[in-house]
Amino acid sequence: VQLQAFGGGLVQPGGSLRLSCEASGFSLDNYAIGWFRQAPGKEREWVLCVGPSDDSTYYADSVKGRFTISRDNAKNTVYLHMVGLKPEDTAAYYCAADRSGITSNRSSWYDYWGQGTLVTVSS
């Protein structure tokens, strides 16, 4: 059972990036997915979460209108689409999955975690 997050990189302010969270060993279909981030020297913070049927999606105020999430069940992958990136979005981004299918903004809620992928927003 493994989650793997990738797709981070260096992007200029105002730019876009898509992060991927790929599962192996289990199907993401019935799992709630959360994305979190941790900037250097700061605590991990919740970014957004989505339920299994994608009809319950919640966003942190700091990313609302700029970040969205989508699933590709055939690829067992969830994507975090980020546009209008700001320097304050610089962080390691983590995806997490919860088997109950219930969304939460608490990191302790989630059962499985991917490794972080670093996003740097800088000119």
The whole-number pLDDT of residue 60 equals 97
Residue 87: per-residue pLDDT = 97
In whole angstroms, what is the distance from residue 94 CA to residue 19 CA? 10
The Cα 84–Cα 86 span in angstroms is: 6
Residues with Cβ < 8 Å from 118, sequence gap 6 or more?
8, 9, 91, 92, 93
pLDDT at res. 73 = 86
For position 54, what pLDDT does the model report? 67
For the purposes of burial, counting CB atoms within 10 Å of the CB of 45, is it exposed (0-12), middle (13-18) or buried (19 or more)?
Answer: middle
Neighbours of 68 (CB within 10 A): 17
Q: Rounded to a whole number, what is the largest CA-CA distance in the chain?
A: 41
Q: pLDDT by residue for the chain (123 residues), tens digit each?
A: 899 999 999 999 999 999 999 999 989 988 999 999 999 999 999 999 999 876 789 999 999 999 999 989 899 999 999 999 999 999 999 999 999 999 999 999 999 999 999 999 999
Q: How many CB atoms lie within 10 A of CB 106?
A: 10
- For residues 19 and 80, is the Cβ–Cβ distance under 8 A? yes
Phi-psi region of 99 (alpha: psi -120 to 50; beta: other; left: phi over 0): alpha
